[in-house]
Structure 1
Amino acid sequence: MQQLSELWIKYRIQVLMIVIAAVVGGYWILNKNNNDALISNTNAVLTSSETGSSLTSTTTMKGTVAIDIKGAVKMPGVYELKADDRVNEALKAAGGPLPNADLRQVNLAKQLTDQQMIYIPLQGETPVVSSSTEPSAANNENDSDSSAKINLNTATKEQLCQITGISDKKADLILQYRQEHGQFKSVDELKEINGFGEKTVAKLKDHLSI
């Protein structure tokens, strides 16, 4: 017993240092493992969040379509709608049809596609009928290679703009006049629209029909 006491007195400092080192080392190892686990969990959460955001963004981009609706509607223009919407939703977005719109010619149940152009015709409008004709002298003088006349009462803005002498602005004026006054009775009725003089209308007769 006396020997143990002597050994303790002689080596107590070394023993205490070993115990302290063991405690500190154990604490450091335990704390490091906890930190590694915390960092791992944080990275997992961030990765999951980024993936979710990416999927949400992709879903949002793919979930809409841009359509261009024209003709006998209250507010024609370009609208962004859901990808699974139908023509009926596009018609509602444009403020609804005009009183003289002919919805019998429109498939309201058709699903929308991106960059789709929808035309709502007026009552009495018929599909554009193209008939081949020989180029006239007036056509040659105006460098026009059009070989078919376009129906003034059913033509879209894109079709009107293909005709020499009709700009984007004039095409809009024609469509506006048609919506407000109904079908044209003759090509000469274009003279009622500002910007269409007698000479201009005379040249357009080679390209337009009723």
Structure 2
Amino acid sequence: MEWLKLMWEDYRKYCLLVLCGVICLIGFVTQKKVAQPAAQTQMDASFSTGKRAKPTQASASSKLMYVDVKGAVNRPGVYALKSGLRIQDALTKAGGVNANADINHVNMAQQVNDQQVVYVPVKGEVTTPIGSSAAQGDSTTDTSGPIVNLNTATKEQLMEITGVGDKKADMILQYRQEHGQFKSVDDLKDVSGFGDKSVANIKDQLAV
């Protein structure tokens, strides 16, 4: 037994070092196993969040509006435009304006809206500038009602004119189909149901 005691005295330091090493190794392995699932969970959450956000961003940027471009342009028609674009972009889609266009009556910087009609007048044609406060029915500049373009207005827009109901709106649309565009507001007198007095009463609400 004496020799065992002597051996323990000689190798005690080494045994303690080995024991400490084993304890440290066990602690390191245990900590790594605990940390790995947490890191994986964080990566999964980040990936999942990024994956959901991507379609939302794509959906917002791909929203389209449809604009009807008419008048003195090279290719009149309905065009799809991305949200936030301007009337200038709509005219570019339509091949630009032609040589007869009067661009002084067009606000190129105005943003387009879905289902909007963009009408470019010819030189010498009397009209309300596109994008102006009057064209948008600004009450500070026009107290009699919104300005309605006889050449581009829909039936619903025509019925906003004072004294124009369902039947008279249909007569205006029929006149446009049979005779083409109105050259002046006074041409409205040629439409059945309108006379000198009735046209004079609503003249400040009209444009061509």
Q: TM-score, normalised by structure 1?
A: 0.48
Q: TM-score, normalised by structure 2?
A: 0.49
